[in-house]
Chains A and B, each alone.
Chain A
Amino acid sequence: MIGDPLSIRPERDTVVAELRGEIDLSNAKTIAGEIGSAVPNDAAGVVLDLADVTYLDSSGVHLIFDLNERLHGRQQRLVLTLPEGSRISRVLELVNVEAVVPIERTVDASIDRVHAEP
């Protein structure tokens, strides 16, 4: 596998977690843990940038839902960034992620969404 599948940066009071490559059973748990511990209490929320993810299965879906639940308990928001035509959108549709977690096309739009009124 090429490089680290995760990089995290703060942007406008938000933690932007950028995922890359394949997310499956072999790395989903580790990634979830790393993101969870990287979110300060005062952050408005987390943007999960999935633009460069080429594969994501139920482990990845589990990661999203799990993260969402944990953030929800802390009054923090999770927003996904997923450009049009992404390969993984089919899986996210099938498990109806959008009913629970909002999806935006760009990181900027996702951060805006984090700050938006509920």
Chain B
Amino acid sequence: MPEQRATGGPLGASAGGDDAILSRLRKLESITEAALANLRLDELLDVLLTRLRSVLEVDTAAVLLLDEQTSELVARAAKGIEEEVEQGVRVPLGAGFAGRVAAESRPIFLADVQPTDVVNPILIDKGIRSLLGVPLLVESRTIGVLHVGTLTLRTFRHDEAELLQAAADRIALAIDHARLYDAERQARAVAERRAEQVHDLQSITDVALSHLAMDDTLLVSMLDRVCGLLDADTAAILLLDSEGDVLVVRAAKGIEEEVERGLRIPLGGGFAGRIAGERRPVVLEDVDHAEVMNPILHDKGIRSLLGVPLLVEGEPIGVMHVGSLSPRSFTEEQVSLMELAADRIATAIDRARQHNVAEQLQRALLPSGLPEIPGLNMAASYHPAADDADVGGDWYDVLQLGSGLVGVAMGDVVSRGLRAAAFMGELRTALRAYAIEGDRPARVLTRLDRLVRGMREREMATVAYAILDSRTRELTYCLAGHPPPLVIPVEGEPRFLRAPASAPIGAVAAPRYEDCDAKLDARDTLLMYTDGLVEHRDRTLEEGMAALAEEALARGEEPEELVSRLMGRLGRSADDVAALAVRLSGVDPERVELRLPAVPGSLSPMRAALGEWLAAAGAPDDDAYDVLIAAGEAAANAVEHAYGPVDAEFEVEGRVTDGSVVLAVRDSGRWREPRGQHRGRGLLLMRELMDDVRIDRDEQGTAVEMRRALVRGEAT
């Protein structure tokens, strides 16, 4: 058989230094480099085979790959006369021409092809006369064959054989890459699917962790997710009771009766009891009825079960199992997925249990409600840390100090956990005591600091304390290392109440605390908060404060709405968050009622309040001014004539009826007839400025009622 072996020696005539061949080789190589980088395998084979055909001037070029499982060569791509042959022609390893190339892992040249030389009948049918084949080698392992053939007798020169081998190496490399890529892609797909499952699981347990209250709905929704992940029909969570020797079904899906019946399974007994006892997963592919104590599982027709322990620090707190209504097996991956789910659920349950204790203490120490104070609307909220088992000792307080003064406090204990909550309780009580004595804010904080530094176990806290005069809207405040309160007007930008830098309570020896003053406007909201509202891992304090100011921007919200929105938007913090909003009441345009001490000092605040009401009621400026003077005169009378109890009061009531302002000023004193030259001027002014003035006196007191049409002349 005319045959030339390629190994080690020249293949036909050598033309080693031929420039044309070299340049063709380079051309081929440059293409393969580019192809390797950019083309998919099919495109690469297509380009390479086409190029080989024209460079080597052959009638066919084909690639066959070895199927290692069947030891056959499978046609993968072809150009030329084999092109129309369907892909997938199979050649046994060792048989025929390609089979030999592969089996012997070396180039083979057939100068004159005989029918017995080839398995593939197409080559004979088409009249192939000469064939040159080279193995596709990856790390000296044959993965296939590349061959070229001619319809005329042909001798391949050595350099042409080298060229073919070079192309084969490229193809082998590309195929190996592609296979690696495929394998990698498959591995990645598996990993991604796994990650997705874990993520699904995580999302549900994250919800659990953030809720910190393991209610049944939450547990059931987790079981839903677990069923979905494992393609199971039923699922249940059983928790060990406080004694630690009996499992009680806590939540179930598909077998909800378990919960209703309050099923109790002793540790070590039955399926669930065994899992908890042995602290390892148990799979029952075909439920052995003898092993299962729970009759409900039988009744439901459960055929296969997978159960895993719920472990916290290696100790079982319960069991979670899934069941299938048809017999099935569970893969290793599914078992480990189930263990992962159990791990997260156990952590969530444990954290919720721990958190509950400190949180309950914390909540017990916070005010159970805010006082009702006329002229003020208040709301407060406290959220424990989202993903920390320890609460942080945030607190707030509102105190009525008398004479319309209101004390507002907000604090944040630096440490965490039960001790922080207890310390918070002490601080709150001490602050109340000092505040109620009437101390100004700086004095209250100074005394608080002394108290704390005298304690055996030194703690620190930031505190903000402010006294708001609900009548004059004047605010005196002092900060001890606490973030500045925010004033939110009905219109315009919120502003932070600045204060000199100061140390937290208990932090340094002899800290300096100074009072600062601010004047609020009607319907302004004062917001106090703890740093959890402005401090976030991914932004600076300044950015957090800017975000708060932006979020609080005037919307005319009532405190409750404001606080709940701010907590929702900004309160997702690793820290505790507390917020307290106090809003100065606005003016009811329909009516106003004022009750003031019968002293000359009440006149100015009375006019200010009345002026605001008149503006809100839509009285034109000039009308409003006239009404203010008339009201001022009537009130001055009430003050001058007040007698009897030391703290006599007078009332001013205003309303708008039929386009007129109707004012009533009442006192408990006796009207005195004006005497002397000047005494009648007040009454004269009232009569001149108002359309109608009536004075009623009796033993109880005097009432002056006045009416004035708004925009005189229009109301008739």
- Which A residues lie at the B interface, using CB under 8 A? 1, 22, 24-27, 55, 57-59, 61-62, 65-66, 87, 90-91, 94-95
Contact = CB atoms under 8 A, between A and B. Distances in A.
Contact of A62 (B600, B601, B678): B678
Q: Which one of A1, A65, A91 has the highest number of Cβ atoms from chain B below 10 Å of its Cβ?
A: A91
B689 A59 contact: no
B689 A94 contact: yes
Contacts of B601: 26
A70 to B, nearest CB: 13
B637 to A, nearest CB: 9
Residue among A22, A25, A65, A94 with max Cβ neighbours from chain B (10 Å) = A25
A55 B632 contact: yes
Contact of A24 (B600, B681, B688, B689): B600
Contacts of A27: 600
Contacts of A59: 636
B681 A25 contact: no
Given A24-B632, A57-B636, A62-B678, A95 B603 contact: no
B82 interface: no
B636 A58 contact: yes
B604 A91 contact: no
Given A24-B632, A25-B640, A87-B625, A58 B604 contact: no
B625 A57 contact: no
Contacts of A90: 625-626
Interface in B676-698: 677-678, 681-682, 684-685, 688-689
Contacts of B603: 24-26
A24 to B, nearest CB: 5
B48 interface: no
Contact of A26 (B604, B625, B682): B604
Contacts of B684: 58, 94-95
B72 interface: no
Contacts of A66: 678
Closest 9 CB pairs of A and B: A26-B600, A58-B682, A58-B681, A25-B600, A25-B636, A94-B688, A57-B632, A62-B678, A24-B603
Contacts of B677: 65
A71 B677 CA distance: 18
Given A25-B636, A27-B600, A59-B636, 12 more contacts: A24-B603, A24-B636, A25-B603, A55-B607, A58-B633, A58-B636, A58-B685, A62-B678, A62-B681, A66-B678, A90-B625, A91-B685
Contacts of B678: 58, 61-62, 65-66
Interface of B: 600-601, 603-604, 607, 625-626, 628-629, 632-633, 636, 639-640, 677-678, 681-682, 684-685, 688-689
Contacts of A61: 678, 681
Nearest to B630: A57
Contacts of B639: 25
A6 to B, nearest CB: 16
Contacts of A55: 607, 628-629, 632
Contacts of B607: 22, 55
A46 to B, nearest CB: 19
20 contacts: A1-B604, A22-B604, A24-B604, A24-B636, A25-B600, A25-B636, A26-B600, A26-B604, A27-B600, A55-B628, A57-B633, A58-B684, A58-B685, A62-B681, A65-B677, A66-B678, A90-B626, A91-B629, A91-B685, A95-B681
A24 B629 CA distance: 10
A59 to B, nearest CB: 7
Nearest to A62: B678
A94 B628 CA distance: 15
B640 A57 contact: no
Nearest to A95: B681
B650 to A, nearest CB: 12
Contacts of B626: 90
Nearest to A1: B604
Given A94-B688, A95-B685, A57 B629 contact: yes
Contacts of A1: 604
A113 to B, nearest CB: 24
A1 B474 CA distance: 12
Which of A22, A24, A27, A65: most chain B CB closer than 10 A? A24
A24 B634 CA distance: 12
B38 to A, nearest CB: 80
Contacts of A57: 629, 632-633, 636, 682, 685
A62 B628 CA distance: 18
Nearest to B682: A58
Contacts of A22: 604, 607
B665 to A, nearest CB: 13
Nearest to A29: B600
A8 to B, nearest CB: 22
B601 to A, nearest CB: 5
B638 to A, nearest CB: 10
A53 to B, nearest CB: 13
Nearest to B603: A24
Contacts of A24: 600, 603-604, 632, 636
Nearest to A24: B603
Nearest to A54: B625
B93 to A, nearest CB: 105
Contacts of A91: 629, 685
A95 B684 CA distance: 8
A99 B421 CA distance: 74
A87 B611 CA distance: 14
A1 B629 CA distance: 18
A57 to B, nearest CB: 5
A65 B679 CA distance: 12
A58 B684 CA distance: 9
A55 B600 CA distance: 15
A58 to B, nearest CB: 4
A92 to B, nearest CB: 11
* Best-buried of A1, A58, A91, A94 by chain B (most CB within 10 Å): A58
B623 to A, nearest CB: 12
A83 B49 CA distance: 105
B614 to A, nearest CB: 14
A90 B623 CA distance: 12
Nearest to B621: A87
A69 to B, nearest CB: 10
A95 B479 CA distance: 52
B639 to A, nearest CB: 6
Nearest to A94: B688
Contacts of A87: 625
